[in-house]
Amino acid sequence: MHAHRRTAAATLTLGVLALALAACGGSDDAADDAAGDGPADDAVAEAWNTSAGSQADEGEFDFDCPAGGSVEFQVWGGEDGQYTSDSSICVAAVHAGVITAADGGTVHVTMTPGLDTYGDGFEANGVTSVAWTDPWELSFEVSAG
């Protein structure tokens, strides 16, 4: 599965959730309901859903993961500290033990060449990475910022 297929699946899931909420008399904005009530909550959710590949194709950078984030966003890989570029930076940092969702923090991201496989996925620090056994074009590592 390619990145656009994963994104389409997530978008479809949120769309179905929004329709279900609207049908039940709930909010028709699933993203706001999932993230919280206001702009601050939206900013936290947006940061925690940011992938490394959306920020850079190479090099290094620091990224701020706000306190109170959610580990609901997916990460692929994690073996040897390598995650696919479409993985959430903040959730990868929790998986790697660099930060916690409750406290957040600044993480250092290093973009690296893609791998042929990212392994079977595994649980660490309350996050379960997803198996990805096909080649991927770009990877990243996280460390304390």
Q: Report the distance separating Cα 142 and Cα 6, nearest Å.
A: 22
Type of residue found at 13: T
The predicted pLDDT at position 25 comes to 46
pLDDT in tens, 76-86: 999 899 999 99
Percent of the chain scored above 90 by pLDDT?
Answer: 71
Query: Taking 50 as the threshold, does the pLDDT of residue 34 lie above it?
Result: no
**Gap between the Cα atoms of 136 and 145, Å rounded:** 25
Cβ–Cβ under 8 Å, residues 111 and 65: no
Contact 133, 118 (CB under 8 A): yes
CA distance 59 to 109: 8
What ranges make up the beta strands (E) of 33-84? 60-65, 83-84
pTM of the model: 0.74
107-136 mean pLDDT: 97
Q: What angle do CA 71, 73, 74 make, to 5 degrees?
A: 110
CATH classification code of 51-144: 2.170.130.20
Q: Give the rounded distance of the alpha carbon of 120 from its chain centre.
A: 17
The domain spans of the chain are 1-35, 51-144
